[in-house]
Amino acid sequence: MPRAGRLGLLGLQHVLVMYTGCVTVPLVFGAAAHLSGSTIGLLVNADLLVAGLITLLQSLGIARLLGVRLPVVAGATFTAVTPMILIAGQYGLQAVYGSMIAAGVFGLIAAVPFARAARFFPPLVTGSVITVIGLSLIGVATGLIAGQDSTAKDYARPSHLALAAGVVLLIVLVHRFTSGFLAQIGVLLGLVVGTLIAIPMGLTDFSSVGGADWFGVTAPFHFGAPKFPVAAVTSMCVVMLVTFTESTADMLAVGEMTGRRVTPADLARGLAADGVSGVLGGVMNGFLDTVFAQNVGLVGMTRVRTRYVTAVAGALLVLLGLIPKMGQVVASLPGPVIGAAALVMFGTVTAVGVRTLLKTGLHSSDDLMTVAVALGVGMVPVVAPGVYHAFPTWAQVVGGSAITSATLAAFLLNLLFHHTGAGRPGGAVD
């Protein structure tokens, strides 16, 4: 156990490393759902509060019921962004949070079976899905930079594109010419510097900050009583399974770093905490949480392996979630700046997916076919958003989600090629 001062600094470092990734989710979702700045600020606070509580749960645990009890930090997963946007458009925000609650309950039920059946979600499946997640969100980042209405006079204004390019360049330069902790917060530095440049350009509006309280808690069910359309619930349950695959990989990685063997029972408790995030996020207007990979990397970099450091990070996140003014400041960041940071982060997600696929070697034609079909099916609703317009609403939500489509395709093809008998000759690739 580090001394109190060092413990606090190490916990703050974990918060700084994951902060941008965590708040980007409500910013992107809020902008795509055409929510007001004050409402997006509310989502930011709820997001941080839920992330903090789940981080505390994962780090400290509750007996042998919940939490992996490892030095991990939880935060909002990008996996849920596209399905949430689709559900909001088809059924409204009440259905977004109703389906999240249902997915959370499903996660609690499915945690133990999933932990025992993780072999059905090998890197071939998870890599395909993660790659599609990143690719499918590039359009969202572009919309933040250029604007949502291509017919508007200020759409893709050169000054906005230049500002976004400058933010991306700054993030790249920080990554190239710094190291350690400073390199880890390159995206955060890009957001701060980009916002300062945007002020004289007239792209910032912090008027909502003055009217926000210093302390407060987001009211449960802010958007009304939850609704549970079958298609929305199905889509979010698939998202929960994808979230499980993310968390499983990261928890196993932390287990290796700390020298602790992560058993199926440990995994089940950690995954159940993801399920709790769905229930809690649905009630408190938050988001589904997963174990953040960037904080896993920080554990490896600092070699500080005590779970009490991440517990301090969780407590700090809870505190930030109780400061509405902070949420309004974040929600007031200009679109081109947020979009530029999101572009880098979504591209990073894509790269992580490719790296995961490379672990498989892709030496089998069966594996290539699985990846090819999963990517192709997943990208169809991205390049042609209205392709399923003639289908029933439930089919539009399920099929219209790149992540849901890719997950189902990769999972079923993996079962077909690797879990239905001895296979067939001719599967190898030179």
Residue 357 corresponds to which tokens in the numbers above?
A: 């696929």
Is the model's pLDDT at 333 over the cut of 60? yes
Q: Would you state the pLDDT for residue 291?
A: 87
Q: Would you state the pLDDT for residue 184?
A: 61
Q: Would you state the pLDDT for residue 243?
A: 85
Question: What percentage of the chain carries pLDDT values higher than 70?
Answer: 90
Least-confidence region, from 263-267, 330-334, 349-353: 330-334
Mean pLDDT of 34-44: 84
Is the model's pLDDT at 195 over the cut of 60? yes
Cα separation, 371 vs 410, in Å, equals: 7
Residues facing residue 76 across a β-bridge: 289
Angle at 168 between CA 162 and CA 172, to 5 degrees: 140
Q: Would you state the pLDDT for residue 109?
A: 94
Least-confidence region, from 57-66, 83-92, 295-304, 371-380: 295-304
- Average pLDDT across the chain, whole number: 83
Is the model's pLDDT at 175 over the cut of 90? no
Is the model's pLDDT at 363 over the cut of 50? yes
Q: Would you state the pLDDT for residue 429?
A: 55
Q: Would you state the pLDDT for residue 425?
A: 57
Of 75, 78, 26, 76, which is closest to residue 55 (Cα–Cα)? 75
Is the model's pLDDT at 169 over the cut of 70? yes
Q: Tell me the backbone φ, ψ of residue 290, rounded to 5 degrees.
A: -135, 165
Q: Would you state the pLDDT for residue 210?
A: 67
Q: Would you state the pLDDT for residue 430?
A: 47
Mean pLDDT of 225-230: 92
Q: What is the pLDDT of residues 66-81, one digit of tens each?
A: 999 988 899 998 778 8
Residue 256's pLDDT band (cuts 50, 70, 90): confident
Cα separation, 48 vs 287, in Å, equals: 9
Question: What percentage of the chain carries pLDDT values higher than 90?
Answer: 23
Tell me the whole-structure pTM to 2 decimals. 0.72
Is the model's pLDDT at 294 over the cut of 70? no
Q: Would you state the pLDDT for residue 239?
A: 86
Q: What is the pLDDT of residues 241-255, one digit of tens each?
A: 888 877 887 787 788
Q: What is the pLDDT of residues 80-105, one digit of tens each?
A: 888 898 899 889 999 999 999 999 99
Domain ranges (residues) in the chain:
4-418
250 or 165, which is more confident: 165
Cα separation, 369 vs 417, in Å, equals: 10
Residue 272's pLDDT band (cuts 50, 70, 90): very high
Is the model's pLDDT at 426 over the cut of 60? no
104-122 burial, b if ≥16 CB within 10 A, otherwise e? bbbbbebbbebbeebeebb
Q: Would you state the pLDDT for residue 98?
A: 95
